[in-house]
A = this chain, B = another copy of it.
Amino acid sequence: MIARVEISLKKGIADPEGKNITKSLHLLHFDEVVSARVIKTIEIEMNTDDREKALERLDEMCRRLLANPVINDYKIEIVG
């Protein structure tokens, strides 16, 4: 089973990397760009067929390791 965990910054948390990308795109004259933000996706291959159990375990992984609850939101999706 393959899952994707999307880890983004919570609303209101500064995203310096996104700001730098926006600035660099403007320097290259991509003037239509309003803003850019960076999201980290972790693709996880798991050795299980139990979808419910997998979602539960992925949520536990996020809480214990992958996401920082103070600054991050996360979204879990089974993709294959």
Contacts A36-B42, A42-B36, A46-B34 given; does A28 touch B66 at CB 8 Å: no
Q: Contact partner of A30 among B25, B33, B57, CB < 8 A?
A: B57
| A65 engages B25 (CB within 8 Å) | yes
Instruction: Looking at the assembled complex, report how far the CB atom of A58 sits from the nearest CB atom of chain B, in whole angstroms.
Output: 9
Chain A interface residue number, banded? 20 to 34
Q: Contact partner of A34 among B39, B45, B64, CB < 8 A?
A: B45
Query: Nearest chain-B residue to A4 (Cβ)?
Result: B39
| B61 engages A46 (CB within 8 Å) | no
* Sampled A-B contacts (7; CB under 8 Å): A18-B42, A21-B42, A21-B66, A36-B43, A38-B42, A39-B43, A40-B41
